[in-house]
Structure 1
Amino acid sequence: MPKPGQKLSRYEISGYALIIAGIVVLIWGTVKFDLFHELYLDPAQRRGGVFGEYGEFIGGIVGSLWALAGVFLFFATLTYQKHEFELQRSELHKTQKIFQQQNFSTLYISFVNKHNDIIDSLTAYDINESVWKGSNFFVFFHEKVLTSFVQKVRGLENAEKTEENLLSIFEDYFTYHFSFYQNSLDPYLKNLSVLFKLIQRYRSETQDEGEYYSFITKASFTQSELFLIYHVAKFNLLREFVAFDDSFNVFEDLSEEYKASYVVGQELSN
């Protein structure tokens, strides 16, 4: 049955209309057969078979109308039940989605904490034995690659300073320094890769294209950190980040000056 304020369905309207029609016919038949008058007459004076005719009339017309009304009201009940089932299924889906999000949030936070712990453990020393720790490690790595590249390029003859050659030199120095610190960087990159895979799986399972976990993750990256990840992907040291960039635009916030093409262009213009 409909809730207060809910409109009647066409089945209910038809059913109630047939019930009213049956009542009208019942009253009309009672008057037509002069049934009340017959009831007050002496049995000997009553017309023969009037009650039988009245019963056939009621059963044939009124009974049929009310039976049809019952069919319409039955369909109306089924319609409301179907609507209620759809609402319950929708609420269940929302509940499952909330539960799924809560579970993923817990898992996501644990991986983010692990990610931060790995960053805090990154350590490098310069020639003065000064410590570059945590996020400063990426700053040191960035400066190390640029310094090596610039020193090499500025010792070349002008004829050797082609874009292709300089890009090759940049890649060589980046790969060299990456290999030197690879034991420290591998846990960082693998954990970050798993983190993006988790987000990708969550997005696929929930069909939530607007999830905010990838935005939170990307917002934590510094430019020096993006410099490392970008060139790890660019130089095929870890191809997974190319796919992640296609899915999450990981490098959309990386400044042009941190890219190999810009650094090479600056050296060529000098």
Structure 2
Amino acid sequence: MSKPKSKLSRYELTGYILIMAGAAVLVWGTVKFDIWHELYLDPADREGGVFGEYGEFIGGIVGSLWALAGVFLFFATLTYQKREFELQRHELHKTQKIYQQQNFSTLYISFISKHNDIIDSLTAYDINKSAWKGTNFFVFFQEKVLTSFVQKVRSLGPAERTGENLRSIFEDYFTYHFTFYQNSLGPYLKNLSVLFKLIQRYRSETEDEGEYYSFITKASFTQSELFLIYHVAQFSLIREFSAFDDAFAVFEDLAEEYKAETIIRRELPQQ
């Protein structure tokens, strides 16, 4: 069974040892000078200077030991006060962090609610006048881009199907459809950008690298939604989304088959 650790500091232990040493010297001096015997003698029979020598002894040795003990105990008190201040500072930091988290949680919920409202308001119509609403809007947008790209590429001869040319065509069609729906997509992307900036600031202020707000946000993205955001970043239509990927790995869940590089590779002439 392990022994319990002493709760006394080195300063405190040294101070108590010095006090006990002073007490031991005091007892030894009392016996050495035979003070008890001197006290019971008639004043005329007492040896001259015994009490004076005893007083000098007590003041010189015992007094010094106890004064030194007082210094060590003073340092022990300072050490305990410093420890208390550290604990108070730590508790204050925890309280501030909890307060920051509560405030940010309220702000985050309001932005997520607004984000969902914006998605619900997204609407696009196909040639049959059928409405594609909410998250289906992103599916419709993705299909429009891919269909336009594939139809164009398959009208080209083998010599024209170079990687550079196909990438240029894909970017042109993506930019064209993005511009066409920009009035709808602008508020969505702007709100998403502000949301990630808020998370970034919260992470910086609280030094909380393990915050879960970015994980919650990313978990809500569909593949079609990631298709849109990924290529917005790839083609620098909104530059900060590239920085968000570096900070939050936004596109780690996007399937390779929905990335421009893979889509273009599938349309290259077979060797």
Query: One fold, TM greater than 0.5?
Result: yes
Secondary structure of 1:251's counterpart equals coil
Deviation at residue 157 of structure 1 after TM alignment: 2.1
Alignment of 1:145-160 (within 5 A): 145-160=145-160
Question: Residue 182 of structure 1 aligns with which residue?
Answer: 182
Aligned residue for 2:118? 118
Q: C-alpha separation between the residues in 2 aligned to 1:105 and 1:62?
A: 64
Deviations 1:33-84 (A, max 9, x none): 1111111112221112222221121111111111111111111111111111
1:195 is matched with which residue? 195
Within 1, Cα distance between the matches of 2:23 and 2:211? 60
Q: For 1:124, what is the secondary structure of its paired residue?
A: strand
CA distance in 2, matches of 1:83, 1:93: 15
Q: Report % sequence identity.
A: 83
The residue type paired with residue 229 of structure 1 is I
Q: Which residue of 2 aligns with 1:18?
A: 18
- 1:178 and 1:6 map into 2 onto residues whose CA distance is 70
Compute the displacement of 1:134 (Å).
0.3
Q: Which amino acid aligns with 2:130?
A: S
Q: CA deviation at 1:269?
A: 4.7
Q: Tell me the equivalent position of 1:224.
A: 224
Tell me the CA shift for residue 5 of structure 1: 6.9
The one-letter amino acid paired with 2:74 is F
Give the aligned CA root-mean-square deviation in angstroms: 1.4
CA distance in 1 between counterparts of 2:161 and 2:80 reads 78
Cα separation, 2, equivalents of 1:233 and 1:54: 91
Of stretches 181-190 and 101-110 in structure 1, the one that deviates more from structure 2 is: 101-110
Structure 2 distance, partners of 1:237, 1:96, is 38
Q: Which residue of 2 aligns with 1:214?
A: 214
Q: Distance in 2 between matches of 1:211 and 1:139?
A: 30
Please state how far the C-alpha of 1:7 moved relative to its aligned partner: 2.0
Gaps of 5+ in 2: none
Q: Aligned partners of 1:59 and 1:124: how far apart in 2?
A: 98
1:132, 1:6 → 2: CA distance? 72
Kindly provide the CA deviation profile for residues 209-253 of structure 1, in whole angstroms up to 9, marking residues without a partner as x: 111111111111000000001111111111110111111111111
Q: 1:163 corresponds to which residue?
A: 163
SS of aligned partner of 1:132: strand
TM-score, structure 1 as length reference: 0.95
- Whichever residue aligns with residue 195 of structure 1, its letter is L
- Say whether residues 1:135 and 2:131 are aligned partners: no
Secondary structure, aligned partner of 1:44: coil
Deviations 1:161-206 (A, max 9, x none): 2221111111111111111100000000000000111111111111
The 8 Å contact of residues 158 and 269 in structure 2, kept in 1 or not, is answered as no
Deviations 1:121-140 (A, max 9, x none): 00000011111000000000
Q: Distance in 2 between matches of 1:56 and 1:163?
A: 102
Look up the match of 2:262.
Answer: 262
Counterpart position of 2:108: 108
Instruction: Judge which range, 192-201 or 35-44, deviates more.
Output: 35-44
Distance of 2:28 and 2:169 partners within structure 1: 105
Equivalent in the alignment of 2:57:
57
Aligned-partner SS, 1:101:
helix
Secondary structure of the residue that 1:252 maps to in structure 2?
coil
